[in-house]
């Protein structure tokens, strides 16, 4: 997963304690004003989207009524990916080892386009709401479906939520001097308010607003950073001279890598071997961009396939920005604050940032607090909060969707739409509480083990899932037995390697490496390749040795059968928006008996509560509302021929840009 993989390239923990030599400028009144304006903007956008969108149906709440246009979809794809851990980790990776980790970003450019042009037509044709639901329809049975649903929730809670929350909150704690629990409760309260009330529509529109804030703030900091260091040539030359004055003698500790400005590195001895970047990195990235609920859910909410493609193109173009606006400033931070950011003596690093491994993950925060004037410090803190909130809202909404549709509805098949709406919102609140309770665990280890091995968690858990999605979409012979045993074997092997990584952590640069050969000599990207091939072999062999899948497990569920005709399905009647319902209540046209019979004040209060949660009180009493038989909705798959040509031309341009920048820095 691209967001998390860049966080800990060096294995350093996130600790934001200021260095003894100076902690940067303090916040002033204008910084606080900027932060207040940020929160006002986010809440205004959130409540505006709640007023304008339909939130009382499953599609309305979880898929924004499938009414999103290309620009909010693209902005939401980008901001959901760029979390606070991304800002901290990508800059820290640049400070410690050069540009290598940007490969995750540029790999994501290809994958988000692969989603829109290849995978999304299949998902839209199948009519699914969640990715585990797709597996259930494609393979049948419950075990693969439930297995992937639970695995997804595990990954969300223990990697995405914890990484972004820890990095973002510690930055805010350093800037605002708040108690960590006060910061967490405040941010999660704001996040939960419009996530619970507004559903995916509110999340997408606020993501779009926060994308503008993040890009603006990051580009401003980039400008200040380049001006301070003396420009591009000064960066290229100064980085290799940024060697700390105190380091372990007769070691490579603290010395920049010779291949710092190379994307493709030695296939045996480097930190990112180029064969692993090509293949081993692509398979986990395919899971994140093409079958992870957080990302795919935004594309499913698009009006049409053309709007989804336009959103993916926008997100792909924006993926070029982090190299210039996050990674290069992190490298500049090493030049400007060499002894602090690039400290190489464990005892000194412990004094500076509380972590003997190194302090490179303080690179971005140090630039903010040392270089920016009053007002802009507040803006950059708003950028960090925007990155944190956009990621959390995306995860909360997607995790709620998976729990409601794939777990609750599985065991409560007769649940009404009213019940599903309640469950979806309550689960968001449960996630908020779980996030707060998880903080002591992160604090106890100072984020160390979690941050060091977040790459391993992603690399060891995601390739098997990618394989069963890939084969399910493009090989009609794949069946449930093959998919289940493939993912079971693959995840078992991946978990064993992950446990070995926890038991045998990487030594410091001056320590001998006594780890077992399977950990020491097999790079995690190479292990990702091996794990993928093992899973692929198991799925193919078991599928060929067992029965063929049934026709209903193929029609409209693979690339080759996505346009197969199916029987008409019942379609629920149209729901009015919150704004329209409000007008009905005000004018006395609302048909709810409780509104007519109860007191005026009481009914208004009850209505306000219903509206805030996006619930329709009539649906509670009318579970079986009249339905009209209708043909399957294929409108999302329709594309204007001329617009399709424009999108395909932009696809070629975007791919050319990606190939050029990769080739230039290879």
Task: Return the pLDDT at 616.
Answer: 52
Task: Return the pLDDT at 111.
Answer: 95
At 446, is the pLDDT very low, low, confident or very high (cuts 50, 70, 90)?
Answer: very low
Question: Is residue 165 predicted with pLDDT exceeding 50?
Answer: yes
Contact criterion met (CB below 8 Å) for 73 and 308: yes
pLDDT tens per residue across span 366-383? 898 889 888 888 888 888
At 612, is the pLDDT very low, low, confident or very high (cuts 50, 70, 90)?
Answer: very low
Task: Return the pLDDT at 565.
Answer: 72
More confident residue, 95 or 87: 95
Question: Is residue 587 predicted with pLDDT exceeding 60?
Answer: no
At 454, is the pLDDT very low, low, confident or very high (cuts 50, 70, 90)?
Answer: low
Question: Is residue 195 predicted with pLDDT exceeding 80?
Answer: no
Q: Which CATH superfamily is domain 2-266+293-445 in?
A: Sodium/glucose cotransporter (1.20.1730.10)
Task: Return the pLDDT at 514.
Answer: 84
Question: Is residue 81 predicted with pLDDT exceeding 60?
Answer: yes
**Residue whose entry in the numeric block shows the structure tokens 């091939």:** 533
Question: Is residue 489 predicted with pLDDT exceeding 90?
Answer: yes
Task: Return the pLDDT at 356.
Answer: 76
At 194, is the pLDDT very low, low, confident or very high (cuts 50, 70, 90)?
Answer: low
Q: Which of 340-344, 436-440, 572-576, 650-654 has the highest mean pLDDT?
A: 650-654
What percent of the chain has pLDDT above 70? 75
Name the β-bridge partners of 519.
none
Mean pLDDT over the full length of the chain: 78
Angle formed at CA 105 by CA 104 and CA 110, multiple of 5 degrees: 95
Question: Is residue 176 predicted with pLDDT exceeding 80?
Answer: no
At 1, is the pLDDT very low, low, confident or very high (cuts 50, 70, 90)?
Answer: very low
More confident residue, 28 or 180: 28
Task: Return the pLDDT at 441.
Answer: 60
DSSP secondary structure, 270-324, as one string: SSSBHHIIIIITHHHHHHHHHT-HHHHHHHHTBSSHHHHHHHHHHHHHHTTHHII
Contact criterion met (CB below 8 Å) for 48 and 42: no
**Lowest-confidence segment of 6-10, 33-37, 68-72 by average pLDDT:** 6-10
Residue 629: strand, helix, or coil: strand
Please tell me the distance from the alpha carbon of residue 333 to that of residue 367, in angstroms, as a whole number.
6
Phi/psi at 570 (5° precision): -75, 140
**Lowest-confidence segment of 83-87, 92-96, 330-334 by average pLDDT:** 83-87
More confident residue, 571 or 456: 456
Question: Is residue 231 predicted with pLDDT exceeding 90?
Answer: yes
Six token digits for residue 24: 């940067």
Contact criterion met (CB below 8 Å) for 546 and 481: yes
Mean pLDDT of 181-206: 70
Task: Return the pLDDT at 628.
Answer: 39
At 57, is the pLDDT very low, low, confident or very high (cuts 50, 70, 90)?
Answer: low
Residue 301: strand, helix, or coil: coil
Task: Return the pLDDT at 323.
Answer: 94
Question: Is residue 108 predicted with pLDDT exceeding 60?
Answer: yes
At 361, is the pLDDT very low, low, confident or very high (cuts 50, 70, 90)?
Answer: confident
More confident residue, 421 or 321: 321
Please tell me the distance from the alpha carbon of residue 71 to that of residue 69, in angstroms, as a whole number.
6
pTM confidence score: 0.81
Question: Is residue 394 predicted with pLDDT exceeding 80?
Answer: no
Name the β-bridge partners of 302.
68
Strand residues in 423-499 grouped as ranges (E):
none
DSSP secondary structure, 123-139, as one string: HHHHT-SSHHHHHHHHH
At 198, is the pLDDT very low, low, confident or very high (cuts 50, 70, 90)?
Answer: low
Question: Is residue 665 predicted with pLDDT exceeding 50?
Answer: yes
The domain locations on the chain are 2-266+293-445
More confident residue, 31 or 307: 307
Question: Is residue 308 predicted with pLDDT exceeding 60?
Answer: yes
Q: Which of 15-24, 562-571, 591-600 has the highest mean pLDDT?
A: 562-571
Question: Is residue 91 predicted with pLDDT exceeding 60?
Answer: yes
DSSP, res 231:
S
* Number of alpha carbons in the 13 Å side-chain half-sphere of residue 327: 26
More confident residue, 54 or 590: 54
**Lowest-confidence segment of 312-316, 434-438, 481-485, 643-647 by average pLDDT:** 434-438
At 416, is the pLDDT very low, low, confident or very high (cuts 50, 70, 90)?
Answer: confident
Residue 367 CA to chain centroid, in angstroms?
25
Please tell me the distance from the alpha carbon of residue 6 to that of residue 478, in angstroms, as a whole number.
33
Among residues 134, 168, 114, 135, the alpha carbon closest in space to that of 392 is found at: 168
At 2, is the pLDDT very low, low, confident or very high (cuts 50, 70, 90)?
Answer: very low
Contact criterion met (CB below 8 Å) for 352 and 17: yes
Task: Return the pLDDT at 180.
Answer: 67
Please tell me the distance from the alpha carbon of residue 320 to that of residue 135, in angstroms, as a whole number.
33
Q: Which of 79-93, 206-220, 338-352, 535-549 has the highest mean pLDDT?
A: 535-549
Inter-axis angle of helices 328-336 and 232-241, to 10 degrees? 60
Task: Return the pLDDT at 375.
Answer: 83
Task: Return the pLDDT at 651.
Answer: 96
Task: Return the pLDDT at 453.
Answer: 46
* Count of residues making up the chain: 666
Mean pLDDT of 202-231: 88
Contact criterion met (CB below 8 Å) for 201 and 53: yes
Contact criterion met (CB below 8 Å) for 381 and 397: no
């Amino acid at each position: 997963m691209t967001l998390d993989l860049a966080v800990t390239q060096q294995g350093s923990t996130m600790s934001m304690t200021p260095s003894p030599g100076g902690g940067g400028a303090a916040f002033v009144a204008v910084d606080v004003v900027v932060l207040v304006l940020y929160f006002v903007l986010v809440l205004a956008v959130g409540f505006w989207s709640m007023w304008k969108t339909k939130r009382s149906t499953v599609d309305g709440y979880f898929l924004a009524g499938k009414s999103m246009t290309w620009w909010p979809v693209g902005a939401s794809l980008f901001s959901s990916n760029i979390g606070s851990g991304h800002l901290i980790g990508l800059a820290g990776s640049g400070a410690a080892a050069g540009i290598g980790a940007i490969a995750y970003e540029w790999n994501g450019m290809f994958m988000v386009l692969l989603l829109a042009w290849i995978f999304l037509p299949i998902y839209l044709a199948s009519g699914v709401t969640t990715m585990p639901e797709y597996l259930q329809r494609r393979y049948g049975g419950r075990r693969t479906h439930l297995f992937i649903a639970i695995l997804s929730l595990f990954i969300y809670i223990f990697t995405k939520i914890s990484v972004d929350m820890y990095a973002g909150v510690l930055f805010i704690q350093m800037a605002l001097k708040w108690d960590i629990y006060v910061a967490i409760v405040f941010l999660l309260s704001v996040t939960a308010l419009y996530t619970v009330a507004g559903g995916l529509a509110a999340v997408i529109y606020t993501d779009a607003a926060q994308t503008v804030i993040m890009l603006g703030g990051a580009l401003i900091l980039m400008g200040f950073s380049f001006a301070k260091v003396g420009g591009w040539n000064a960066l290229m030359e100064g980085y290799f001279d940024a060697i700390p004055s105190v380091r372990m003698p007769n070691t490579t500790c603290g010395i920049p890598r010779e291949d710092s400005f190379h994307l493709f590195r030695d296939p045996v001895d480097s930190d990112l071997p180029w064969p692993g970047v090509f293949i081993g990195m692509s398979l986990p990235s395919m899971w994140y961009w093409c079958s992870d609920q957080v990302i795919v859910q935004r594309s499913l909410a698009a009006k049409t396939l053309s709007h989804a493609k336009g959103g993916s193109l926008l997100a792909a173009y924006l993926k070029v920005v982090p190299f210039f606006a996050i990674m290069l400033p992190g490298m500049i931070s090493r030049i400007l604050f060499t002894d602090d950011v690039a400290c190489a003596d464990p005892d000194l690093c412990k004094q500076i940032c509380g972590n003997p491994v190194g302090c490179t993950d303080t690179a971005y925060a140090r630039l903010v607090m040392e270089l920016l004037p009053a007002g802009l410090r507040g803006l950059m803190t708003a950028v960090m909060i925007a990155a944190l909130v956009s990621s959390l809202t995306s995860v909360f909404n997607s995790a709620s969707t998976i729990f409601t549709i794939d777990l609750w509805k599985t065991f409560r098949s007769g649940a009404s739409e009213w019940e599903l709406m309640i469950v979806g919102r309550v689960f968001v609140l449960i996630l908020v509480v779980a996030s707060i309770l998880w903080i002591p665990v992160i604090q106890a280890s100072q984020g160390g083990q979690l941050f060091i091995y977040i790459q391993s968690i992603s690399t060891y858990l995601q390739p098997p899932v990618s394989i069963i999605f890939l084969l399910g979409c493009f090989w009609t012979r794949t069946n449930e037995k093959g998919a289940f045993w493939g993912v079971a074997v693959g995840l078992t092997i991946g978990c064993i390697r992950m446990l070995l990584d926890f038991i045998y952590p990487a030594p410091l640069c001056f320590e001998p490496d006594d780890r077992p050969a399977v950990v020491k000599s097999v790079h995690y990207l190479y292990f990702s390749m091996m794990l993928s091939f093992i899973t692929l072999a198991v799925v193919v062999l078991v599928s060929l040795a067992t029965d063929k899948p049934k026709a209903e497990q193929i029609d409209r569920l693979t690339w080759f059968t996505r346009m197969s005709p199916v029987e008409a399905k019942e379609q629920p009647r149209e729901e009015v928006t919150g704004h329209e319902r409000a007008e009905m209540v005000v004018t006395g046209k609302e048909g709810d008996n409780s509104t007519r019979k109860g007191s005026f004040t009481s009914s208004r209060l009850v209505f306000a509560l219903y509206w805030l949660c996006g619930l329709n009180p009539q649906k509670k009493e009318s579970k079986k509302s009249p339905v009209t038989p209708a043909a399957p909705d294929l409108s999302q798959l329709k594309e204007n021929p001329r617009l399709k040509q424009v999108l395909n031309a932009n696809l070629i341009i975007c791919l050319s840009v990606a190939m050029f920048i990769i080739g230039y820095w290879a």
